[in-house]
Amino acid sequence: MDAFYNKLGKVVAWLEDKYIYDIAGNYQAFIKEEKVFNKDGEYIGTLNNGYFRDKEGYIVAFNSDVTENLDLPPLQVIPEPGLADVPFIPEVMYSSENTIREFNQWSDLNWEEFIENDYQLVS
């Protein structure tokens, strides 16, 4: 299981296979072909090269395997959680025509806003 960290180095999520869990082990989202969908099937961003990115391409979280040189904080160490739910994979709401440009900057979104897909894109 891989830990993912926010811009402060705090663990915000765990990745096991293609499933994303919160720090308590509750299922939050899943990955399909590098695209991230919340548990309602809504497209919320991407996972590529160790970075979760929002729909605009900004970094929301990262794992310890990242290779690009971004000013990263010291990482919090916490034990892996027990996994509470059996993941349900809904139909996804995504058009393959949607692609994002990746930025080496932090998103204004926190992890919860990213997962809930509760924000408006800035054009």
Within-domain flag for 122: no
* 67: containing domain: 2-116
Average pLDDT over residues 99-122: 79
* Cβ atoms of residues 5 and 11 within 8 Å: yes
pLDDT at residue 71, as a whole number: 75
Distance from C-alpha of 17 to C-alpha of 123, rounded to nearest angstrom: 33
Q: Which single residue is written with the structure tokens 């992890």?
A: 111
Q: Residue 36: beta bridge partners?
A: 31, 45
Find where tokens 């399909």 sit.
32
Query: Is 121 inside a domain boundary?
Result: no
Closest to 2 (Cα-Cα) out of 72, 61, 71: 61
* Domains: count for the chain: 1
- Residue-wise pLDDT tens digits, 73-109: 777 777 676 766 656 666 555 555 556 677 888 888 8
Q: Please write the tens of the pLDDT for every residue from 15-55.
A: 998 999 998 889 999 999 999 999 888 999 999 999 999 99
- Does residue 7 form part of some domain? yes
Residue type, 30: F
Upper half-sphere CA count for residue 12 (Cβ side, 13 Å) = 21
Classify residue 123: in a domain, yes or no. Answer: no
Q: What is the pLDDT of residue 60?
A: 95
* In-domain check, residue 84: yes
Of 119 and 106, the one with more pLDDT: 106
pLDDT of residue 6: 93
C-alpha distances in angstroms, 80 versus 22, 25, 52, 65, 110? 10, 8, 19, 17, 21
- pLDDT, position 94: 55
Q: Is the pLDDT of residue 110 over 70?
A: yes
Mean pLDDT of 3-17: 92
